[in-house]
Amino acid sequence: MRNLVDSLQSPLYRRALLEAVLVGAVAGVVGVHVVLRRLPFFVVAMSHATFPGVAIASALGISLFLGGSAYGLVVVAAVLVLGANRALDDASVIGVVLAGSFALGVLVVSAQPGSSRDLSAFLVGSVLTVTPADVVTTVVVGAGVLGVLGFLQKELVLGAFDRSGASALGYRGWVLDAIVLVAVTLTMVTAIPAVGTLLAVALLTVPALTARLWVDRVGAAIAVAAFVGALSGVLGLFAAAIWSIAAGGAIALATGVCFLVSLAVTASRNRTGRRLPGRAGGVAA
C-alpha cells in the first residue's frame, strides 16, 4: 500500500488516473452501442485496423490521434461501402477490409529505431506517460462522442433493435451504422495512450456486458457501463502501483474481474429467487 500512497503524490500518476477514468467512462458508454449492435468482432478488428495509422503518424512525427483516426475512418468507409454489397456478410466484409492492416503497422514500426519499445506502447499503452495534451484530447473527443450518441440515442437504439422499423420511419440504416462505427473508432484511438490498441477492446466491450447483468434498460446500462469502465481504470492503476505491474494490462484485467464478480452475484441472487430490479427480460430501450 505504501507504493500506492507514494504514487498518489506524483502529478504524473494523478494525471494517468484521470486519463484512465475518462477513457474508461467514455468507452463504457460507447460499448453499450457495440453490444446492442453485436459489434465486438468489429471492435477487435478495429484494434488492428487503427494500428497502421498510429504507426505511420509516429514515423512522420504527427499526432497519433490524427493518424489513427484518419486511417480508422478510411477503414470505416470501406466497411460501409463493401457492406452495401449483399453478397457479403458483415464478418466477411470486415475480414476483407482489415486483412493485412496489422502486418502493415508492424512493418512500419519495425523500420523505425527503437521499434520494440514503440510497438509495445502502441499495443498495450503507457498510461503513466500520458501528456496533458492526451487528457485534453480525451475530454474533447469524449464530450463530442457522448454528445452525439446522447442526442441520437433513440434513433440508434431503434436502429439496433428494429432496423426495418427505423427505415420505415425514414432513418437511413447506413447513416446510423456509420455514426456508431465512427464513435467506436474515435474512442479506440483516444484510448491508445492509456491502454493501447489491443487492450482498448476490453474497455469497449466488457463494461457494457457487465452492465447487461445488472439492468435491462439502455439508459441504465449506459450509466452502469460508464461506472464500470471508470472503476476498472481506478482499480487497474491502483493494482499497477501496489504490485508494480503493467498498468494497461491491469486495467483490462480489472474489467474482467468486474464482470466475473457481477456474474457471480447476479447468478447467486437468481438462484435464491431474489431477482435484481428490472431483470425480467432482455435489454429494453
Determine the 3-state secondary structure of 62 from DSSP.
coil
Q: For position 184, what pLDDT does the model report? A: 93
Q: For position 96, what pLDDT does the model report? A: 65
Percent of the chain surpassing pLDDT 70: 84
Question: Which grid coordinates are listed for 62?
Answer: 504527427
Q: Which stretches in the chain have pLDDT values below 50?
A: 276, 278-282
Task: Report the C-alpha gap between 182 and 149 in whole angstroms.
Answer: 11
Q: Is 80 exposed, middle or buried (0-12, 13-18, 19+ CB in 10 A)?
A: middle
Q: For position 280, what pLDDT does the model report? A: 42
Helices (H), 215-246: 218-243
Q: For position 279, what pLDDT does the model report? A: 47
Q: Are 20 and 72 in contact (CB under 8 A)?
A: no
Q: Where are the beta strands (DSSP E) in the chain?
A: none
Please give the domain boundaries of the chain with CATH numbers for all domains.
2-271 (1.10.3470.10)
Task: Report the C-alpha gap between 270 and 165 in whole angstroms.
Answer: 34
In 3D space, the residue among 19, 136, 141, 170 whose CA is nearest the CA of residue 72 turns out to be 141
Task: Report the C-alpha gap between 251 and 273 in whole angstroms.
Answer: 33
Whole-model pTM above 0.75? yes
Q: For position 223, what pLDDT does the model report? A: 97
